[in-house]
Amino acid sequence: MENHVAKELEAMLKETQPSFTTKSCCIYKVPHEIRQFNEDAYTPVLVSIGPLHHGNSRLVTMEGHKQVYFQHLVGKSEASLSDLVSCVQQLEPQIRACYFENIDLTADELVKVIFIDCCFIIELFLRSYEHKTEDDVTLPKDWKELRVRYDLILLENQVPLFVVEKIYNVESAAESFASRLDSGRFPSFMWLAADIYFSYFNTQRVLLPAAGSTIAHFTDLLRYFHLPPSHRIPSRNLAPFVLGHSASELVEAGLEFQVNKSSHGILDLEFEHGILKIPHVTVHDRTEVWLRNIVALEQCHYPRHHYITDYVNFLAQLVNTNKDADVLIKARIIHSDISGNDTSVAKLFRDVDKNNILINYNVNCVKICDDLNAFYKHPCRTKIATLRRDYFTTPWKTATSIAGIVLLLLTVIQTVCSILQLHS
């Protein structure tokens, strides 16, 4: 007797096709266990890019604006629309393979979405390069342009960079392309992205990625901005780093905090001779957005090279309260523009650190944590910390403690004088 269940399963196996290849996949929906703590940080506000948020009713207004940008770019190109679309059609299988999720669009529908979005991005970057965004009826307000900029760095809101560059290079090969640029030059697309449109995030002025680099998309580019040069990236091992004491406790033990002015990125932590040097970072209301999306990218795409996640984990251990945040703010390591009080700084790092999985660890962070724990546990440091905590935490306690010490000294002096007089 034929087993109908086995027959159905056999048919299912024949129809099942892999939805992605591990090597190609680079764009992900943020896992629920991370996303649940702040869904807004991963969701576009104004514009959808790529298929994952395409069709969202909240973002439909910008679809017309994207088509205006698409019309402007194609209208000024000497390359035919057919040639430009063919670029994307040829790459459709590779594009689909970049997405972890199954894309519920036909090949033609996906090509259309990707092509219009790529044209929008190119035209947006060129207008930024030509300083023409101020008179732009599509993005008439600074706040709107800023929202779009942040939408373009969200992990779920990406198109593969190789597609944008392909269309851009076909465009730039046309003679008319140079005539529309004030400088008459052909800037590379990566230069437009790194040095013009996203220059705000490139605080360390990191050099452009080399030609043929493996930068997958704009979220990946932001991560690249915050990594040290490849020859200075720390190695990793399985030993975890655990910091047993917060910033305020370490200060009580005699530690000094300083800004690391010679840093090449936020990962450059140095500890020597009782001084912990940390690179300067500005924290504001939108910091959580870019930080969360880079961490989400590392969790999904760089599970064994999560350097920014290490940084967040270190600061979450170092800054537990507003008192700890105040230590780093006074040392000018953190400049806080967050609305509200400094507890928001501590909360930010704690929240971004939630539910992250760390498989291995930055050896530099491990060594610094071990050294800081040893520094605090030194008998002299422990006594200093106890004295400061018990007798010098407030101005009133400090004044009372000093008065007590002075009184004790005077009593000792009086006692010594009395003894001397008896023997004279």
Domain boundaries, the chain: 17-191, 235-380
Judge whether 151 and 45 are in contact, CB under 8 Å. Answer: yes
- Position 360 scores a pLDDT of 94
Q: Does 126 have pLDDT greater than 80?
A: yes
Phi, psi (degrees; rounded to nearest 5) at 259: -75, 135
Mean pLDDT of the chain, nearest integer: 85
Q: pTM of the entire structure?
A: 0.84
Please give the pLDDT value at position 171. Answer: 76
Give the angle subtended at the CA of 227 by the CAs of 27 and 151, to the nearest 5°: 40
Q: What pLDDT sits at residue 385?
A: 45
Place of tokens 């928001």: 344
* pLDDT tops 50 at residue 389: yes
- Measured between alpha carbons, how far is 378 from 389 in angstroms, rounded to an integer? 16
100 contacts 300 by C-beta, under 8 angstroms: yes
Residue 122 main-chain phi, psi, to 5 deg: -60, -45
Percentage of the chain with pLDDT > 90?
Answer: 56
Mean pLDDT (whole number) for 380-395: 52
Q: What digits encode the pLDDT tens for the residues 332-370?
A: 999 988 876 556 899 999 999 999 999 999 999 999 999
